A and B are shown apart, each in its own frame.
Chain A
Amino acid sequence: SYVLTQPPSVSVAPGKTARITCGGNNIGSKSVHWYQQKPGQAPVLVIYYDSDRPSGIPERFSGSNSGNTATLTISRVEAGDEADYYCQVWDSSSDHRGVFGTGTKVTVL
């Protein structure tokens, strides 16, 4: 089965840039989506199709995907960005299934 690996945690100072990686075999050939989840809340889509932003998501959130790594970048980090972040792909190689990354806790110092 397809596996997506994320760093458990990323720490960043306010105003700086946070980069969250999502590693998977040839992930660049897949569409990657990203979700933000704050404590006690449902996940929220922040990036879809590698780099598109849903309406209402700040331009500070951006995404890229190439080779074996996809990256979510949060620029000018704010205290309100502190949350868990999950990458996700749809794997239709052998069977149809959704796959989530292991999740990354972003801490704003």
Chain B
Amino acid sequence: EVQLVESGGVVVQPGGSLRLSCAASGFTFDDYTMHWVRQAPGKGLEWVSLISWDGGSTYYADSVKGRFTISRDNSKNSLYLQMNSLRTEDTALYYCAKSGGDSGSYYDYWGQGTLVTVSS
């Protein structure tokens, strides 16, 4: 059974930093592209970032480019999101998602999310 478990969400002040983690199990982690997707309270889904199976390619939404860094440790079956220079608009539930299919263009499994609140 595929499981994705996010952690690391807390309340942080504007300008602060945070590192989210996602522990994966139930599939061959290093075969798949992984994503972070977020959802602000009461709002829709927003794609945040992608990392290829080997970490060689990464992409970011314009809203987080230059502030967030995605990474992975295939030896630990873990995905990470380093979040710097946090803004109030970064407040959201952050989901880790596994890519599906050969193209990796959709998300076939999601974690339950970890809540990041940016507030003074």
Contacts and interface: CB of A to CB of B under 8 A. Distances in A.
15 contacts: A1-B62, A33-B106, A35-B45, A42-B95, A42-B112, A48-B101, A49-B106, A88-B107, A89-B105, A90-B104, A98-B37, A98-B47, A100-B44, A100-B45, A100-B46
Given A1-B62, A42-B110, A54-B108, A90 B103 contact: yes
B100 interface: yes
A42 B107 CA distance: 12
A103 B45 contact: yes
Interface of A: 1, 31, 33, 35, 37, 42-45, 48-49, 54, 84, 86, 88-90, 95-103
Contacts of A45: 100, 106-108
B59 A97 contact: yes
B72 interface: no
Contacts of B70: none
B111 interface: yes
Interface of B: 35, 37, 44-47, 50, 59-62, 95, 100-101, 103-108, 110-113
Contacts, number: 64
Contacts of B61: 97
A96 B50 contact: yes
Contacts of A100: 37, 44-47
A90 B111 CA distance: 20
Contacts of B60: 97
Given A48-B106, A100-B44, 12 more contacts: A31-B103, A33-B105, A33-B106, A43-B45, A43-B107, A48-B101, A90-B104, A90-B105, A98-B50, A100-B45, A103-B44, A103-B45
A37 B104 CA distance: 21
Nearest to A30: B105
Contacts of B101: 48-49
A32 to B, nearest CB: 9
Contacts of A99: 47
A103 B43 CA distance: 9
